[in-house]
Amino acid sequence: MLAGASRAADSGDAASAKRCFKCHAEDGLESGDGEPIIAAQPFAYIVAALDAFQTGARVDKSMNKVTKSMTREEIEASARYYASLPNKSPRQPFDTKFAGKGAGIHARLCEKCHVDGGRGFSMEKTPGPILAGQTEKYLRAQFAQFMSLDREMPSGMGIAMLELLPGDANALLHYYISRSP
């Protein structure tokens, strides 16, 4: 377990997270520009994501710039802050036909790691995100990065991505946005 995972968020954590408010807002919900909902994401996943942006293993100009000067303490405090928030993601329009197809694809290829229909993550050694209720714009961009191999993924996920047929990513996207977190 990471050192900061057991501590509850405090005002110092909010102060560290302040640099994130411009894009992720104080409540961790997206601003409409394609940022992910980070409220209530697992602490370990947020830390891993920030570390990947800081080292350049994960590429996003804004995130790479913001994380470059962050200390380990600031990364953990920011992660603790956002992990402690409730996820009140807004309902989004979705296609029920695609969502139904996506439910089957998720059960077959994704549920092993993205448990409870994308509401949790099960692998201890590889922290992962909550996908249920995430924004369409963000998920669409991430699927595109994974499918073009512009973003690293765990080997099991790479194998699952190779099994996707044309249209399956869109069905998964509609499934995840149809779910409440």
pTM beyond 0.85: the answer is: yes
Give the whole-angstrom CA distance, residue 24 versus residue 33: 10
| Two tokens, residue 136 | 């369409």
**Mean pLDDT of all residues belonging to the chain:** 89
Helices assigned H by DSSP within the chain: 11-17, 21-24, 43-55, 61-68, 72-83, 96-105, 115-118, 136-147, 155-162, 168-178
* Start and end residues for every CATH 1.10.760.10 domain found in the chain: 3-83, 96-178
pLDDT at 9: 59
Fold of 96-178: Cytochrome Bc1 Complex; Chain D, domain 2 (1.10.760)
Average confidence (pLDDT) over 9-32: 84
Pick the more confident residue, 28 or 126.
28
CB-based burial label for 11 (10 Å; 0-12, 13-18, 19+): exposed
Architecture of domain 3-83: Orthogonal Bundle (1.10)
CB 121 within 8 A of CB 114: yes
Longest dimension (CA), the chain: 47
Q: In this predicted structure, which of 9-13, 43-47, 128-132, 160-164 has the lowest mean pLDDT?
A: 9-13
